[in-house]
Amino acid sequence: MIRIYGIRNCDTMKKAIAWLEANGIAHEFIDYKKAGVAASHLPDWNRRAGWQTLLNTRGLMWKKLTDEQRSGVDEAKALALMAEVPSLIKRPVLDAGAQLLVGFDPERYARELAR
């Protein structure tokens, strides 16, 4: 079963879930803020996708951080920030077992999930 992690009211999440449903792909949605699973999953996601891919530096939450929090970001600092503020994780994070897809790209979903 595919697990898709994110935040329910995110527009990108809505698009990804709509794509999965339109393509008949069974999935389980997990709101990582409400379920509190972001911190426990970050080490695995980082190993599979890399912290640079996971860290959303284009979103509103990144802009709300202080200059000090945003400066000198390395792997340890990024993981700590994402654990503390899960909204900093790029959405969605789709775990299909062999693949971990971060962000929504319909062409990539079609290519990777059709296997």
Active-site residues: which are they?
10
Question: Which residues, including other chains, have CB under 8 Å from residue 15's CB and lie 6 or more apart?
Answer: 104
- Residue for token digits 């996601």? 45
Instruction: Tokens for 59, please give them.
Output: 């979103």
φ and ψ at residue 30, rounded to 5 degrees: -130, 120
The neighbour count for residue 57, using CB atoms within 10 Å, is 14
Question: Which residues, including other chains, have CB under 8 Å from residue 38's CB and lie 6 or more apart?
Answer: 5, 32, 82, 83, 86, 89
